[in-house]
A and B are shown apart, each in its own frame.
Chain A
Amino acid sequence: MIGALKNKLVLFGACITTVLVLAVVIGPWVSPYSATEADFMALLAPPSLSHPFGTDSFGRDVLTRILYGARVSLVVSVSGVLAAALIGTAAGMASAYFGGFGSSVMMRLSDLLFSFPSFVLALFMMVVLGYGVANIAVAIALIYIPIFARLSRNMALLVKDEPWVQAAILLGQPTRSILLREILPNIAAPIFVQIALGIAFGIVIEAGLSFLGLGVQPPAPSLGTIMADGREYFQRAPWVLTLSGVAVSIALLGLNLLSDGLRDVMDPKLRARL
């Protein structure tokens, strides 16, 4: 733990993420503007004291929209990735523990899902299921389930052969208990790292989908819809796309640095050298 804190980059990442979470949780309450109500007197106004990030094509304060939008993007991404983690890890562990034909089929299907280019899969889901926040979360979950499944299966296979697990089986511990108390804690570390990475990735997917107009329903903001809006007037009001893009990059930067740190912390070989 101390080793992790000593690493400057991880510290930096943790700081950014904390600031971000705070901003997203508290910011909207603090802001005097609404994220969805239009103000037609101030369309596409450049950054100023009253509007630090300027206004968008409806006259809405961009900074406020970004804070609300970050909430939406985070919620969508987190729920998608968590769902994927739950389903994928369960599937992977079961496959590793029980083995057999069923598990083989499941892994093949998971491979198939994994073989689709992620963005195309997400887009395809939108076309089939219709647009909207919930469906984006579903698409993100579908993209990540195979990753968690494979990861947890590989790790569980390794752990399964460890002496204490074998001992628990011999002692007659119920299967569920073995899975939950012996195996799961030992594979948790890389799963958490993957969750952090997945959240970052999910934000980019959501941004891309909303950018193409397939995402969050208006007038609700999300990081992607703000960027899509900003891209339309890039000539005329470049600050909207630029600043929202910068905001997204900073958010992801924090998440990525943090997950880096987590990975470094959890890997004993590397930790000794840091």
Chain B
Amino acid sequence: MSTGFDGLNRRQALAMMAGAAGATAFPGLSGPALAQAGRLRAGITGFTVINTLDPMKASLIPEYYIMYGIFNALLKFNSKMEIVPDLAESFSTVDSKTLEFKLRKGVKFHDGGDFTADDVKFSLERVADEKNASSNRSKMTPIADIQIADPHTLRIVTKAPFGPLLNYLTNTRTAAQIVSRAAVKAAGDEAFGKKPVGTGRYMLKDWKSNESVELAGFAGAFEGAPKIGSVICPFIAEESSGMTAILGNQIDLTSTAPFADVPTLEKQGTVKVLKQPGLNTRYIALNNKRAPFDDVHFRRAVSMAFDREMLVKAVIFGEGVATPGVLPPAHWAEGKPITSDYLKFNPERAKAELAKSKYKAGQEGVVLIWGSNWWRRIGEIFVGQVNQVLGTKLTIQAMDFNAAFGRAKAGDYDAMVMGWLGLVDPDEYIGEMAGSKGFRNIHFYSSAKMDDLLDKGRAEIDPAKRKLIYREAEQLLAEDMPMLPCFTSNVHNLLRPNLSGFTQLPYSNYGDQFGTCALG
């Protein structure tokens, strides 16, 4: 499928030579627009908005990209996705409701203050506080008490056994990043978001709204001073511009890569491509409260009327894996997906199932699509195939994110392409999406049996046992089919050949790696 680029290959070779010539043709200028020696240029592609760098208030992915480098949490994931200590030196389970953490000594905040257990208590409690209306509040409310034994020892006690706790205490999209109480009190909540103080290897140096963020190395970081002392993160609205930027050596690193170009980029070798299945899920949300998706037979019929494998090939050019449920492969028990006939592409069975429903061929429905090209394509291909197989008359309506989300929250939609990215615990996926009180449950799905299973999953501490419970939940989901799972996509990073020390993790990490990066 890559026959089109041979001409480009030759062109690229010429470019190498011409590029060298071109650079010397302009000796007086500093060369490419964003270049500077000894500085890491880490482009954030596909986003332009960040609002705050306060973990309590942060909500958007690019905010986390940067916060990962400014803050640490009690725990973090290592390159094998195992939970290991970060600001904690060690931790142990006292009983099913209590965890004890021994904290590192001699850790300094960016402003020179000392890190103690009190900062941990402060950081976690402010997230749980109703008054602060944090998007991540539900992760911290199960905590009953944080007991400080001494400045470097603390215990976290939960109201009931809480399985996700360890995951939620990592430096991921969780608001568990540790902030300095003194700094927050001094600056006030509002200002702290613009002048964050953490323990990470980088400090915020400059922030040009919607343009770029500049970070400066923190020599006193407990992890050690970073190899590269200065990082600039320009916001690049278009993913494809991010790609042309790195190809033209305007940046050293990107946070994503356009799916269609990954195979070409891998072959060309001008940049290094890192990829692996991400911790994300892409699916089609259905409104279970109104026609036509209020009928379980109709939902099942539609599920069997489109081919998820083909969707992966056509939408993301094979850069992902079809999922039978809403959990990404990393959360599958024993690494095996569930199976269900309702999830297999089977036009005959689909039509048979349709016959059982109260809706027939010719049924109309509107699928909302939004966002970037490939995201919208999910909806287009889905509608095309389902209409072909079942003879329905589903149509597409395109709009921007804001409008689409508004309608979803108001329950004013039939079906919608949806997805979540960078979530680390199965409860965040299936718990929030299928639980009757979950805030990601825009499907109006409510099942006592499901709620039961989810509660069990939340209360189970043993990770292996939890996976089995969620497997049961996914099986139930396949029966009830309140939404149509599609696939998990790969995460990508593009690197200049001379960049080393970046370890890609599936939850879409970024800033946490800047400290170990080196430009050779």
Contacts and interface: CB of A to CB of B under 8 A. Distances in A.
Given A38-B384, A57-B260, A236-B5, A43 B314 contact: yes
B373 A58 contact: no
Interface stretch (A87-95, A184-192, A195-203, A227-235): A227-235
B3 interface: yes
Nearest to B388: A37
A122 to B, nearest CB: 15
A217 B396 contact: yes
A10 interface: no
A43 B373 contact: no
Interface in A207-236: 213-214, 217-219, 228-229, 231-236
Interface residues of B, number: 33
Interface of B: 1-5, 8, 240, 243, 258, 260-261, 263-265, 310, 313-314, 369, 372-374, 376-377, 380-381, 384, 395-400, 403
B264 to A, nearest CB: 5
Contact of B240 (A38, A214, A234, A239): A234
Nearest to A216: B398
A274 interface: no
Contacts of B398: 131, 213, 217-218
Range of interface residues on A (Cβ < 8 Å): 20 to 34
B243 A235 contact: yes
Given A131-B399, A217-B396, A218-B396, A46 B3 contact: yes
Contacts of A127: 400
A236 B1 CA distance: 9
5 contacts: A213-B398, A219-B380, A232-B240, A233-B260, A237-B4
Contact of A130 (B3, B240, B403): B403
Contacts of B263: 236
A37 B384 contact: yes
Given A44-B1, A213-B373, A217-B398, A232 B258 contact: yes
Contacts of B243: 235
Nearest to B374: A232
- Chain A CB count within 10 A is highest, among B243, B397, B399, for B399
Contacts of B397: 131, 217
Contacts of B1: 43-44, 236
Interface string A31-67: 0000011101001101000000000011000000000
Contacts of A57: 260, 314, 377
A236 B2 contact: yes
B261 A236 contact: yes
A3 interface: no
A46 B1 CA distance: 9
Given A131-B398, A217-B396, A232-B258, A238 B4 contact: yes
A46 B4 contact: yes
Nearest to A131: B398
Given A46-B3, A235-B261, A236-B1, 5 more contacts: A38-B314, A38-B381, A217-B395, A218-B376, A218-B396
B314 A58 contact: yes
Contact of B314 (A40, A214, A237): A40
A58 B384 CA distance: 11
